[in-house]
Amino acid sequence: MKKIISQVMFAALLILLSAALYILHYSLFNDSHHIFIYLLGDIVFVPIEVLFVSLILHKIIMAHEKKAVFEKLNMVIGTFLSEAGSEMLNRFSFADTNADNFKKYLINDKQWNRRKLSGLLTLLKKQEHSISIKKIDFVLLKDFLAGKRDFFVRLLENPVLLEHQPFTEILMATFHLTAELCGRKSFDGLPREDLDHLSNDINRVYKPLVSLWLKYMIYLSKNYPYLFSLAMRENPFSSKRSIVIGSN
């Protein structure tokens, strides 16, 4: 309310200042004809100025702001993948009995390009994942996610995530999986129903996380080739991943 009042007062001050200048002009030159000619001329150009400011300049500013938000969002996504996402992908894809259907397309090779990466998104949307509970080390997974809990909370507090609902949902699903695992003191002798429940919780994180990783790789390949090179050397889907160049 105070902001609106201050804006109204500022507008009124400008109007009064303009009126005072017109009065000063008239008192000095006593030429109302000249004043109204230029006043009408200025009014004629007002719609054009409004068009320029509201449509053209506004769109330029919005596009710049949108690009800045997009860059910040990808920085957050990159941090998430580096801190936790890639490790989760490595663990989950190892337990995915259907992973061989798509992992071979995601492992680093010299033929990767943006067109190939984009085509893989369509493949992944159709891909069914099947987590083998026997291949999941729940104790290690619990310890890993529990150690990242504060990190996940800080990410959820980031306002930039409002611009990316899928990533927000991945974070929420990850936080839920962490809570589910931390709520169990032991994973020995769990009922089949409970294991199926945990499997669903993992899939809720895993499937969209694969697509998120690939979209981020597309972004890096286009904008930051040196970061893309590093990400490929740390490819979570490769059993021979190594940051050392030429070691694979």
Shared domain check, 81 and 38 = no
Q: Which domain holds residue 118?
A: 68-233
Q: Are 216 and 77 in contact (CB under 8 A)?
A: yes
Phi, psi of 128 (to 5 degrees): -95, 135
Is residue 241 in some structural domain?
no
Q: Please tell me the predicted confidence (pLDDT) of residue 77.
A: 92
Shared domain check, 154 and 105 = yes
Q: Please tell me the predicted confidence (pLDDT) of residue 18.
A: 78
Put simply, whether the predicted model's pTM sits higher than 0.75 gets the answer no
Q: Please tell me the predicted confidence (pLDDT) of residue 45.
A: 67
Task: Identify the top-confidence range among 24-38, 58-72, 199-213, 219-233.
Answer: 199-213
Q: Mark which of 44, 60, 76 sits at the end of a domain.
A: 44
Q: Are 234 and 243 in contact (CB under 8 A)?
A: yes
Residue with tokens 């200048």: 21
Q: pLDDT by residue (tens digit) across 132-158? A: 888 999 999 999 999 999 998 888 888
- Give residue 232's pLDDT band: very low, low, confident or very high (50, 70, 90): confident
Shared domain check, 111 and 40 = no
Question: Is the predicted pLDDT of residue 109 greater than 60, yes or no?
Answer: no
